Amino acid sequence: MSESKVAVITGAASGIGRASAHKFAKEGYRVAIMDLNESIRDVGEELRDSGHTCYDFVGDVANEADVSAFIAETEKRYGRIDVLNCNAGIVVVKPLEDTTFEEFSKVAAVNIGGTFLCHKYVLPVMKKQRKGSIVNLGSVSGHVGQTEHAVYGATKGAVISFTRAVAWELAGYNIRVNSVSPGSVDTPMLRSDIQLESTRTGIPFEEVKKLREAEQAFNRWADPSEIAEAIYFLASDSASFVTGSDLLVDCGWVAK
Ligand SMILES: NC(=O)c1ccc[n+]([C@@H]2O[C@H](COP(=O)([O-])OP(=O)(O)OC[C@H]3O[C@@H](n4cnc5c(N)ncnc54)[C@H](O)[C@@H]3O)[C@@H](O)[C@H]2O)c1
């Protein structure tokens, strides 16, 4: 058991991060999970109750002291880090001129800043091992122009280009770095996004939902577990020749 691999997953209290924590645990990984939301403790308990090894940490990915403490404790407990999955993210959906600089700064600090900080503290561990795999969260918003998502889309575009550059920087250490870009995934983040659009436009929630489902070729949103499968594939040795890639898991949205 002490030999089993270790996956670090941020934003694991909810949505895709939570599904990812369950997937890695089910595949035999010891998982270290972090979230700003205290319900990360419940996810930790859930996993431990099912017999998995899990360390949970309440903290902010945009706070250097939190990230540093979380990674140091993970290394102390488990002795290695095989996978980093940077899931934690937030969205702002607003006309650009109504968006404040504080909102811009916060979304940038969490989405690209948090991704940067997690790499910064995990890389020394992976470099020592001369092996590791990192999966970041992009988005279709980093690929296509989405109305009222300019700031969010810019941070996701940044994550995708950051991923490419870091992949080259780390190739010599046998560390692969990729991203996944989901389409619409049924999580609290997407539902709050739809609610905001509904409130602003006066179009009922269910109608906005239908319009947003139609952006996917199968006319539905993804379940978070469907994104976790793609994250797991990229993280695993099955993707041994994949680095610097962004995998669209968007049910054809960008292909249209
Ligand atoms: N849901 C979608 O349709 C969708 C589509 C494309 C990309 N994504 C991306 O997937 C990732 C996960 O999103 P989700 O839909 O599961 O959202 P979610 O809101 O369900 O989960 C995100 C989690 O991140 C946590 N978090 C937020 N800020 C944090 C911080 N500063 N420090 C630590 N944790 C923090 C939240 O508390 C939450 O538990 C995000 O990066 C998001 O941008 C989501």
pLDDT digits (tens, 9 = 90+) for 203-223: 999 999 999 999 999 999 999
Helix segments in the chain, DSSP class H? 15-26, 40-49, 64-78, 101-108, 114-129, 150-170, 188-201, 205-213, 224-235
Active site residues: 152
- Domain hosting 126: range is 6-183+231-249
Provide the 3-class DSSP secondary structure of residue 34. Answer: strand
Q: Looking at the predicted structure, is the pLDDT value of residue 1 above 60?
A: no
Write the residue with the smallest CA distance to atom 1 of ligand 1.
185
Contact 149, 91 (CB under 8 A): yes
Write the residue with the smallest CA distance to atom 42 of ligand 1.
89
Q: Could you tell me if residue 62 is inside a domain? A: yes
Q: Tell me what the mean pLDDT of segment 20-35 comes to.
A: 98
The pLDDT confidence band at residue 9, using thresholds 50, 70 and 90, is: very high
Q: Could you tell me if residue 241 is inside a domain? A: yes
pLDDT at 3: 76
Number of domains in the chain: 1
pLDDT at 172: 98
pLDDT at 223: 98
Q: Looking at the predicted structure, is the pLDDT value of residue 2 above 60?
A: no
Contact 5, 11 (CB under 8 A): no
Choose which residue among 56, 189, 221 to substitute to test ligand 1 binding: the one with the highest number of ligand atoms within 8 A of its C-beta.
189
Q: Is 89 in the pocket of ligand 1 (CB under 6 A)?
A: yes
Q: Is 88 in the pocket of ligand 1 (CB under 6 A)?
A: yes
Q: Tell me what the mean pLDDT of segment 18-32 comes to.
A: 98
Q: Which of 13-27, 195-209, 237-251 has the lowest mean pLDDT?
A: 195-209
Q: Could you tell me if residue 196 is inside a domain? A: no
What spacing in Å lies between the alpha carbon of 173 and ligand 1's midpoint?
29
Q: Is 215 in the pocket of ligand 1 (CB under 6 A)?
A: no
Q: Is 87 in the pocket of ligand 1 (CB under 6 A)?
A: yes
| The model's pTM | 0.97
pLDDT digits (tens, 9 = 90+) for 85-104: 999 999 999 899 999 999 99
Proportion of the chain above pLDDT 70, given as a percent: 99
What spacing in Å lies between the alpha carbon of 88 and ligand 1's midpoint?
5
What spacing in Å lies between the alpha carbon of 174 and ligand 1's midpoint?
28
Choose which residue among 16, 152, 155 to substitute to test ligand 1 binding: the one with the highest number of ligand atoms within 8 A of its C-beta.
16
What CATH code is carried by the domain that includes residue 139? 3.40.50.720
The pLDDT confidence band at residue 254, using thresholds 50, 70 and 90, is: very high
Q: Could you tell me if residue 1 is inside a domain? A: no
pLDDT digits (tens, 9 = 90+) for 62-86: 999 999 999 999 999 999 999 999 9
Mean pLDDT over the full length of the chain = 97
Q: Could you tell me if residue 24 is inside a domain? A: yes
Q: Is 28 in the pocket of ligand 1 (CB under 6 A)?
A: no
pLDDT digits (tens, 9 = 90+) for 125-155: 999 999 999 999 999 999 999 999 999 999 9
- Of 27, 61, 22, 24, the C-alpha closest to 42 is 22
